[in-house]
Amino acid sequence: MKIAVVGGIGSGKSEVMNALREIGIATLSADEINSELISTPSYVLTIKNLFPSAVENNEINRKELANIVFHDSASREKLNSVAHPLILKKIKDDNRSPLVVEVPLIFASGAKDLFDIIVAIETPLENRIERLINNRNMTKEEATARINSQVDDKEYIKIADHIIQNDGSLDDLKKCAQVLFGVLCH
C-alpha cells in the first residue's frame, strides 16, 4: 500500500514525514529523490543543456534553477518533463508496504494514480509564508512566488481521502499525523 502526503510548499509535509519516521513507518520523499538526481552526472548534463546559467563547475546551482523555473511556467514544465519520470520510477520501484510518500507535485507529475490513499496537509497561507521566510531564508516575494507557482490548496483537498489541519503547534501536527497514519498503516 502506498500513501501520498500532499500539500503546498510550507504546509508541513516534511514535519509529518519526520513524525512518521519517529514511529517506524517507511517513508520516501520526492524532494529527497530529486536531491539524489541533482548529484547524478547525466542529470546535471541534462540540466546544463536546458538551463546553462543554472550549472556552474558541473554542479547545479539550486537557487538559480529555482529562480528560473518559479518565474517562468514554460521553464518549469521543461524541468518537470525531465525530473518527474525519474522520480516516479523510484516511487514505483519501492516495494515497501505500507509506504508513505511525500509528493508535493502530485498533479504536475501525474503521480496521483500510484497511491491507494492521499492525505492532504492544509495550512493557512500566512503560516506558510512565515515558514518559508524563517526556515528557507526567502523574502516574502520569493515565498509568495513559490506558493503561487503551485496548485491551489483546494485542489489537494478535492483529491484527499484524509485532511490534516496544520494550524496549531508542531506537537499538535506530529500527534495528529502519528494517530492518523498509525491507523492507516496497521
Residue 5: CA count within 13 A, CB half-sphere: 29
Mean pLDDT, the chain, rounded, equals 91
Catalogue all structural domains in the chain, each as residue range(s) with its CATH number. Answer: 2-184 (3.40.50.300)
- Residue with the three cell numbers 537557487: 63
What's the pLDDT score for residue 73? 85
What is the pairing mode between strands 99-102 and 162-165? unpaired
What is d(CA 82, CA 69) in angstroms, rounded to the nearest whole number?
13
Rg (alpha carbons) of the chain, rounded to whole number? 17
* 141: phi then psi, degrees, rounded to nearest 5: -65, -45
What's the pLDDT score for residue 108? 67
Weakly modelled stretches of the chain, pLDDT under 70: 108-109
